[in-house]
Amino acid sequence: MIFLVVALTAVAVGLLVMGLANIEPAETRLVRRRVASLQTSALTYSELRERRRRQAKRDRFGSLLQALGEKVGQRQVADSAVRLWMTHAGIRHPNAIAIYVASRVLSTAILGFGGFAGMAFLGVRAPALYLITAVLALFGWMFPYLYVDGRKKKRQLELTRVLPDTLDLLVVCVEAGLGLNQALVRVSDEVDRLSPEMSDELSVVNLEIRAGTPRDEALRRLGERTGVDDVRSLTSMLMQTDRFGTSIADSLRIHSETLRSKRMQRAEEAAAKTTVKMLFPLIFFIFPAIFVVLVGPSIFIFREFFGGF
């Protein structure tokens, strides 16, 4: 009986993971697929056919999720705020919102009905049965949101962490005589080993400029795509420098020093918070152990002194 609940939960999690996997950028999947096909020259025909069959199944499953999401959440699919939120997480697939909505609906339904059936089969009574079903359904509804939001926070933290080093490389390239566009191309190639996320963002800026987008517009879109305040301030500074004709190298150097000071202040702030964060572990875990060690022997001494009690 417990195995039934575990099996239903495993099926729900598997479907949810498959749905979220289809949210990855289409270009990344195409590149990986192409590289994999080039690396499988030594494979047999049957293995290639099996791999293509599995890929076709994943594509069909992704199309089903897309159709379900478009029917269920038409207003949310057309919401630009949701698309911007998913762009901050690095998800740029055109059908990502539909797949995201479908994943929430499917995970809620599967976990809700699966939990209800499993608990009813185990003989759980009505109040606890309804409570467990509601908790599982709520978890299924919130898990895709928490997954995407976690990716967003992790990506923004990575961009914030690597931005000062990226800006230092940009200063070196500009002072070496490169123009801003050529410096962005060079920095995007060099920073790929340090942060693929930052390299991808700078590559998108370079591609937009090559496609004919004005540099100010490409930089403004960079700030909107990342959603990081430091990146927005950097793009605003570059736009103003380009507009007023001031020295880009001097502006970048000053801004780099400012970002480095901000990073130091964030580190000092995190260090100052450790005292408060350590208070609760000390109260609930350290102090009781110290109390037992210090006061425990005295209890036996008093017990012998008063003749036992």
**Are 12 and 110 a contacting pair, CB within 8 Å?**
yes
Say which amino acid occupies 186.
R
Model pLDDT for residues 163-178, shown as the tens digit of each residue? 888 888 888 888 888 8
Q: What is the pLDDT of residue 5?
A: 47
* Cα–Cα distance list, 74 to 29, 101, 102, 107, 290 (Å): 26, 9, 11, 18, 59
CA–CA distance, 106 with 140 (Å, rounded to integer): 8
Question: Angle at Cα 283 formed by Cα 277 and Cα 289, nearest 5°?
Answer: 130
Residues 4-55 have pLDDT tens digits of: 444 555 555 555 555 555 555 544 555 566 656 555 544 565 666 777 777 6
Contact 124, 165 (CB under 8 A): no
Rounded to the nearest angstrom, the gap between the alpha carbon of residue 206 and the centroid of all alpha carbons in its chain is 24
**Residue 74 confidence class, pLDDT cut points 50, 70, 90:** low
In whole angstroms, give the CA distance from residue 123 to residue 260. 61
The C-alpha R_g of the chain, in whole angstroms, comes to: 28
DSSP, collapsed to helix, strand or coil, labels residue 212 as coil
Mean pLDDT of 237-260: 82
Domain boundaries, the chain: 2-124, 157-271
**Cα four-point dihedral sign 162, 163, 164, 166:** positive
The DSSP secondary-structure symbol of 24 reads S
